[in-house]
Structure 1
Amino acid sequence: MSGRGLLEGQVALITGAGGGIGRGIATRFAAEGAAVVLHCRTAVGAADEVARTVRKSGGRALVLQADLTDEGACRALVAGAAEWGGGRLTALVNNAGVQPTRELSGMTVADWRAVVDTNLSSVFACTQAAAEVMREQEGGGSVTHIASIEASHPAPLHAHYSASKAAVVTHARAAALEYGPFGVRVNTVSPGLIHREGLEEAWPEGVRRWERAAPAGRLGRPEDVGDACVFLASGLASWISGHDLVVDGGVSARPTW
C-alpha cells in the first residue's frame, strides 16, 4: 500500500463509508496503515467494494451495517468496531449524512428531524460511545466530524442541512473541551463542493460557477477530504483539537461584495 504510515497501528471507524467522501476517507486511512471499519446503512455493496480494495492492497477492513438515527445502533456499531480492533478504537470519522433540498417555508418538523437525526444526533451518539473507549486506552484517540462550508455559508433549500452542520462544528468544540483531559481530540473538516459521479451532468451551471469561484480552479476530490482527516487523526495533529479545517479550494476566501 502507498503512504507514509502516518496511521500505522490505528483502528479507525468511518461512518457512511459506502459513499464517495466516505470511500475517499477510508482508502486514505488504509493507505496510511490504519485498520478500517466501514460503516454503511443501506449501501452494503459499495462498502464491501471499498473493503475488497483495501484488502487487495494489503490492508485490513471490516464492514458493519447500522441505522445511525438509532442511539442503540450507534453504540453497537462502536462496540463492534472496538471488538474487531482487539478492544481498541483510535479514530472515529463521523461522515454519514444526508443533504435533501426543501424550501424553508414548506419544511415540516419531520423533514427537519430527518436531517438533524442523521447529521447531528448520530454524531453525538457515536462520539460519546467512541470517547468511552478511547479515554480508557493508552494514547486516547481522535474524532473527526465531517461538517461543511455551509455551516457558515448556507445555501437556499438547505436550511436544515446548514443548521445541522453548524451544530456539528460547535459540538466538536464542546467535545474537545470535555474529552480533551482524557486524551481525546475532536475536530471537524468542512468540505466545499466535492466531485461525485454524474454531478457535472446533473448540475452543470453549479459546477461551472464553482470552478470560476474557486482559486484552485476545480472541484474537490474525496481524497482531498481523506487527506485532511488523515492529518487530524495522525500524530502530526497531536496538539490540534476543537478546530474546523476548511477544505474548499479557497472558495471561502472570496469576498462576497
Structure 2
Amino acid sequence: MSAAAGFEGLGLRDRIVIVSGAGGGGIGTAVTRLVATAGATVVAVSRSKDNLDTHINPLAAEGLSVIPVAADAGTDEGITKVLERVADLPGSLHGLVNVAGGADPATWMPATRVTREDWRALFAQNLETMFFMSQGVARALREQGSPGSIVSVSSISGMNTAPFHIAYGTAKAALVAATRTLAVELAQDGIRVNAVAPGVTETPASRAYVGTDPDRDRRAITMGRRGQPEEQAGPILFLLSDLSTYLTGQTLLVDGGLNLRWTHLGGDHTSLFLENEDFRAAITR
C-alpha cells in the first residue's frame, strides 16, 4: 500500500509542495509529514541544517518523498536556492506553506518599550519572509502555467489583541491582509492564497513561555486543551488540496475555540499561559 493510500481526491500525488520553516519539530514538520504522506514531494526548507538532520531526514528515511534544503527563506538568495532545487525535481510545482516566523521570548514587552529594531525584526521574520517566498512561488507557477495553492501561518494574535506582543500580533495581522490581496491578484492565474491562524499549540517554540497547566487550559479554551501540530497540519493540507478549489483569501482560525472564550487574560492583562512569574514581571516592566 502506498504512502498516499487514503488520500485520494486531494490531488497532491506527483506534485511538489514547498514547506518554508519545516525543520523546527512543530507545525512545519507535521505539515511536511502529512503532505508527503498524501503523495506530494515536499521540499522541506529550514535555515538550520541541524534541524533538518533531526526532524526531516528521519521522514525521508521512512520512505516519504521529502527533500531537505538548508536555506534562509528570509533572503533572496535563499528563495532562489529553493526554487532552483524545485526545478531539478520531477513533477510540477503545486504549492507553498509558509510556516517560517515566530518570535523569541525576549520580544515580549510593553508597547512603550518596543524599539524600531524590535518592530522591523518581527515584521521581517513574520511578514516579509511570507510575502517574498509567496512572490517567488507565484512567479514560478505563472511561468509553469499551472494553478497552485499558497497557505501561510498567521496566529490568533493577528486575529484579536496581542497585549505585550504588539509587533508580533501586528505582523501576523498584516500577513492576513497580504493573504487577501494576493488572493485577488493571483486568482486569474488559478493560484489560491489562504492562511490558518493557530491558537495555543504545543510546539518546541511555544514551550519557551507556555507552561503545562491542564486546569488553566480547560478554563481558557473551549475544547479544554492546547492543540497539537498535527491538528494544524490537517487544515493546511485541506487548503493545499483539491478539496478547497473554490476557497481563496480566507484565514481559518484553528484554535480549539479559544476565541469563543476570550478569557485567557488575567487582571494585569497578561496571558494566563505565562506561568513563569519572573518572565511575566520582565515583560511588563
Superposed displacement of residue 185, structure 1: 0.4
* 1:128 corresponding residue in structure 2: 135
Query: TM-score if structure 2 supplies the norm length?
Result: 0.82
* Aligned-partner Cα distance in 1 for 2:251–2:87: 30
* 2:78 corresponding residue in structure 1: 73
1:190 alignment partner, SS class:
strand
* Aligned-partner Cα distance in 2 for 1:195–1:203: 9
Larger Cα Rg: Structure 1 or Structure 2? Answer: 2
Superposed displacement of residue 187, structure 1: 0.1
Superposed displacement of residue 186, structure 1: 0.2
Matches within 5 A, 1:148-187: 148-187=155-194
The residue type equivalent to 1:48 in the other structure is: D
* 2:34 corresponding residue in structure 1: 28
* 1:11 corresponding residue in structure 2: 16
2:93 alignment partner, SS class:
coil
Give aligned-pair identity as a percent: 32
Q: Indicate the RMSD between aligned Cα atoms, in angstroms.
A: 2.3
Contact 2:13 2:38 in 1 (8 A): yes
* 1:83 corresponding residue in structure 2: 87
Unaligned runs of 5+ in 2: 264-285
Q: Does 1:218 align with 2:225?
A: yes
Between stretches 132-141 and 25-34, larger displacement belongs to 132-141
* 2:252 corresponding residue in structure 1: 245
Superposed displacement of residue 161, structure 1: 0.5
Matches within 5 A, 1:189-208: 189-197=196-204, 203-204=210-211, 208=215
Query: TM-score if structure 1 supplies the norm length?
Result: 0.90
* Aligned-partner Cα distance in 2 for 1:87–1:10: 6
Q: Does 1:117 align with 2:124?
A: yes
1:3 and 1:108, CA in 2 relative to 1: closer, same or farther beyond 3 A? farther
Unaligned runs of 5+ in 1: none
Matches within 5 A, 1:91-102: 91-100=95-104, 101-102=108-109
1:109 and 1:255, CA in 2 relative to 1: closer, same or farther beyond 3 A? closer
* Aligned-partner Cα distance in 2 for 1:200–1:119: 19
Superposed displacement of residue 197, structure 1: 4.6
1:199 and 1:127, CA in 2 relative to 1: closer, same or farther beyond 3 A? closer
1:137 and 1:146, CA in 2 relative to 1: closer, same or farther beyond 3 A? same
* 2:43 corresponding residue in structure 1: 37
1:2 and 1:68, CA in 2 relative to 1: closer, same or farther beyond 3 A? closer
Between stretches 150-159 and 231-240, larger displacement belongs to 150-159
* Aligned-partner Cα distance in 2 for 1:102–1:232: 34
2:144 alignment partner, SS class:
coil
Q: Deviations over 1:217-257 (max 9, x none)?
A: 1111111111111000110001110011111011112266x
* 2:240 corresponding residue in structure 1: 233
The residue type equivalent to 2:196 in the other structure is: V
